[in-house]
Copies of this chain bind each other. A is one copy, B any other.
Amino acid sequence: MTAITRVDAFAPATVANLGVGFDILGLALQAPGDIVRAEWGGDDPCAALVAIEGDNGLLPRDAKNTAIVSANHLLKTLKARRGVNLTIYKHLPLASGLGSSAASAVAAVVAVNALFGEPLTRADLLPSCLEGEAAVSGYHADNVAPALFGGITLVTGTSAHQILQLPVPADLHLALVTPDVAVPTALARAVLPKEVPLRTLVAQTAGVARVIDALYRGDIPSLAAAMESDSVIEPARAHLMPRLAEMRLIAKNAGAYGLVISGAGPTLCAVCASAAAAQRIAEAMKKHYDAAGIASAARHTLVATGGAVILETGSEK
């Protein structure tokens, strides 16, 4: 009999909100993503942290770590009789609006579930992922759902049946630029209005309706225009994003159909219709930050349709 001794799982970066779809829409990126390695631990059915690489020592090493919280929740759910050891390979920048905590939580949970021989379905894993996310940024699924399930998700609640997969247009390419400025999610939430006028509600629901309609029709220009129609969240957060208005112009001049803040920022996400355009736009945005003396990382990628994946499984006889 072959026993699994080690699993490496990858969970992708995610773009939450898609502009107008605050707290309900999100998508998974093909890259980058975090990797978590799970190995068998001691007799105590707990998750222990072996090491974190790539976070410059910024993440908690104790039981508050999002991956550890998630893994512990899963071990409880499984009524495990054995502990696990986790090693986290961070490839996502922290507090950048790319769903860093969600990626670590999801990768940890998927890796641990695989180590136990996959007793639970993806949907069953959602509560454990949410538990880890809650430890950092609140009990919501706008990053966790796309990281776990992949694709473009409509999150209408925190139960798996409240998460819907939306169509992914084949020619949807994204150009992303992350300026080296931390925007803590708590601060980004604090600047939001507590209430909005009824007129604004009508405009915002119309914008979200246009996003869903454009996704089904595979209409990238309409999708981008609808995403940008947000009149609530971006105006409140714009000042936290370096040179947002300029970057939108730069992106559009380079061929983007639109640009929105990724999650709580500061990553900006430009909507493009080809790989060549996305590459050109990512470079143009980075160049503009360079000229302004702002360090940044630029990427171009596609939507990942599959969510978290098992990269490697080690076993012994």
- Asked whether B198 lies within 8 Å of A198 as measured between CB atoms, the reply is no
Q: Out of B22, B164, B197, B202, which one reaches A202, CB within 8 Å?
A: B22
For the complex, would chain A's binding face be called helix, strand, loop or mixed by DSSP majority? mixed
* With A195-B196, A213-B164, A213-B212 as contacts: A204 and B201 at CB distance below 8 Å: yes
A188 shortest CB reach to chain B, Å: 13
A interface residues, tally (CB under 8 Å): 33
A253 shortest CB reach to chain B, Å: 24
Query: How distant is the Cα of A155 from the Cα of B213 in the complex, in angstroms?
Result: 12
Query: How distant is the Cα of A101 from the Cα of B11 in the complex, in angstroms?
Result: 55
Residues of B near A79 (CB, < 8 A) are none
- Asked whether A198 lies within 8 Å of B201 as measured between CB atoms, the reply is no
Q: Out of B25, B201, B213, which one reaches A201, CB within 8 Å?
A: B201
A142 shortest CB reach to chain B, Å: 10
A151 within 8 A of B: no
Query: How distant is the Cα of A212 from the Cα of B208 in the complex, in angstroms?
Result: 9
- Asked whether A154 lies within 8 Å of B22 as measured between CB atoms, the reply is no
Mark A152-167 against chain B: 1 for CB-CB distance below 8 A, else 0: 0011100000001010
Q: Out of B192, B197, B209, which one reaches A25, CB within 8 Å?
A: B209
A127 within 8 A of B: no
A5 within 8 A of B: no
Q: Out of B197, B206, B207, which one reaches A195, CB within 8 Å?
A: B197
- Asked whether B195 lies within 8 Å of A22 as measured between CB atoms, the reply is no
- Asked whether B209 lies within 8 Å of A24 as measured between CB atoms, the reply is yes
Interface centre among A192, A197, A212 (most CB of B within 10 A): A212
Residues of B near A210 (CB, < 8 A) are 154, 156, 164
- Closest B residue to A232 by CB, please name it: B201
A194 within 8 A of B: yes
Residues of B near A196 (CB, < 8 A) are 195-196, 198, 201
Query: How distant is the Cα of A205 from the Cα of B205 in the complex, in angstroms?
Result: 5
- Asked whether B198 lies within 8 Å of A193 as measured between CB atoms, the reply is yes
Query: How distant is the Cα of A24 from the Cα of B195 in the complex, in angstroms?
Result: 20
A276 shortest CB reach to chain B, Å: 29
A21 within 8 A of B: yes
- Closest B residue to A20 by CB, please name it: B205
- Asked whether A21 lies within 8 Å of B209 as measured between CB atoms, the reply is yes
* With A194-B197, A212-B212, A213-B212 as contacts: A24 and B205 at CB distance below 8 Å: yes
* 29 sample A-B contacts, Cβ–Cβ < 8 Å, listed by A number: A20-B205, A21-B209, A23-B202, A24-B202, A24-B205, A24-B206, A25-B209, A154-B206, A154-B209, A155-B206, A156-B207, A156-B209, A164-B210, A166-B213, A195-B197, A195-B198, A196-B196, A198-B232, A201-B201, A201-B204, A205-B205, A205-B208, A208-B208, A209-B209, A209-B211, A209-B212, A212-B213, A213-B216, A216-B216
- A-B residue pairs, 3 tightest by C-beta: A212-B212, A156-B206, A195-B195
**A residues at B contact (CB < 8 Å):** 20-25, 154-156, 164, 166, 192-198, 200-202, 204-213, 216, 232
